[in-house]
Copies of this chain bind each other. A is one copy, B any other.
Amino acid sequence: MKRFIATMLLTLCLATTGLCQQELHGGATGAPLIGKDRRATFTIDAPKADEVMLRLDRHQDIKMTRGTNGTWTFTTEPLQPDIYRYCFLVDGVKTLDANNVYTMRDVATVMSLFVVDDAKAPCPYAVHDVPHGTVAQVWYDSPTLKTSRRLTIYTPAGYETSRQRYPVLYLLHGSGGDETAWLEQGRTAQVMDYLIATGQALPMIVVMPNGNVDEQAAPGSTAAGMITPTFDHKQWMEGSFESSFQDIVKWIEANYRVKAAKRHRAIAGLSMGGFHSLYISANAPLDFGYVGLFSAAITPRKDVKSAIYENLEQKIVTQFDQRPRLYWIGIGKDDFLYEDNKKFRKMLDHNHLASRYTYFESDGGHEWRNWRTYLVEFSRLLFK
């Protein structure tokens, strides 16, 4: 075998000039190196550079230290179990870690990715040795939007063989996102696998649609080609997603083994997806037993006229008359939508609904770290 590998690698080296070094040096440790004390050590070879910075998540850029051989390093303080993004700035040029194949995209920014886990406090975003669900990217027909569009669908471990029916969580992304956002940045499959396996959540299907009605699927997945993802969409919070949402529910309930009833149907979303969840559920008070607003946008665009956004207060009262099993609102103290959410809660309280919704306030702002936490908290409460 060794001879076969050697021959093959030699040939590959000849065929792919200069790639060989990278293809060979990876051990099983991955990068960065995470110590037993949960300190992360970052390393990059840049002998000719004058300055190398580490950009770690949303922290300030950190100066790395040059070794005599031109290798730059930095070691963090112990990190909390979580997932982290980073890149290097080598004399100002953004560089991913060439020793780390794992990346995460946020709109048009790609960063290197790593996970810090801890046996004593397992990180729900890490992959654990538990039964794994299926992740599918599926195209459905939307008669309302007159096109086919893509969904990401998580079905829990055992779906294929169990023959049973499952409840469904519809989980919506924010602006700048698409049907891959909750999967990649939200780590939905890892979260659901772990919560279900440890009995913290019930087995459920999670449907992650694309909330941008002017695109069929995530950038790169349509005939538009490998375009640059952007926040900006021609159609945006103008009612089309809400009014076409039943196409998704109908398609799922026709083609998946689901429990098609209000008490087995949940809807939640972050930012624009929270806005979608708010108005979709308020306009269809008989449809969703569980609603989750994660850092939700509340106020419609001033330049949009749509019956969907009118008489919200009255619709909400009607919705609560139908006794949703859970109405969950989560937001960070530093979120720029905090005040809007406060006003929304005041409106609920004014209508004597204070005891009828769950409020979860976290540190931090409008960020994935919070939305992952909210997903964990919210999905634990579903379908019980």
* Interface check A297, CB cutoff 8 A: yes
Residues of chain B within 8 A of A59, CB atoms compared: 17
**Do A17 and B58 touch across chains, with their CB atoms under 8 A apart?**
yes
CB-based nearest B residue for A335: B11
**Do B301 and A1 touch across chains, with their CB atoms under 8 A apart?**
yes
Interface SS of chain A: helix, strand, loop or mixed?
Answer: loop
In the complex this chain forms, how many copies of it are found? 2
Docked pose: A175 CA to B271 CA in angstroms: 43
**Do B11 and A227 touch across chains, with their CB atoms under 8 A apart?**
no
Residues of chain B within 8 A of A230, CB atoms compared: 26-28
Docked pose: A219 CA to B30 CA in angstroms: 10
Give the contacts of A335-350 with B (CB-CB under 8 A).
Answer: 335-336
* Interface check A8, CB cutoff 8 A: yes
Residues of chain B within 8 A of A38, CB atoms compared: none
Chain A residues with a Cβ closer than 8 Å to the other chain, count: 109
**Do A365 and B11 touch across chains, with their CB atoms under 8 A apart?**
yes
Contact partner of A28 (CB less than 8 A), chosen from B90, B136, B227, B303, is B227
* Interface check A314, CB cutoff 8 A: no
CB of A229, distance to nearest CB on chain B (Å): 6
Docked pose: A224 CA to B16 CA in angstroms: 29
Residues 1-40 of chain A, each 1 if its beta carbon lies under 8 Å from chain B, else 0: 1001101111110011111001101111111000000000
CB of A107, distance to nearest CB on chain B (Å): 5
* Interface check A241, CB cutoff 8 A: no
* Interface check A49, CB cutoff 8 A: yes
Could you list 5 A-B pairs, sorted by A, with CB under 8 Å? A101-B220, A102-B220, A113-B226, A126-B225, A138-B160
7 closest A-B pairs by CB: A26-B228, A136-B136, A11-B336, A129-B223, A26-B108, A48-B91, A160-B255
Q: Which residues of A contact B (CB under 8 A)?
A: 1, 4-5, 7-12, 15-19, 22-23, 25-31, 44-50, 55, 57-61, 90-96, 98-103, 105-110, 113-115, 117, 126-129, 131-139, 148, 150, 157, 160-161, 175-176, 217, 219-232, 236-237, 254-255, 271, 297, 301, 303-304, 334-336, 365-367
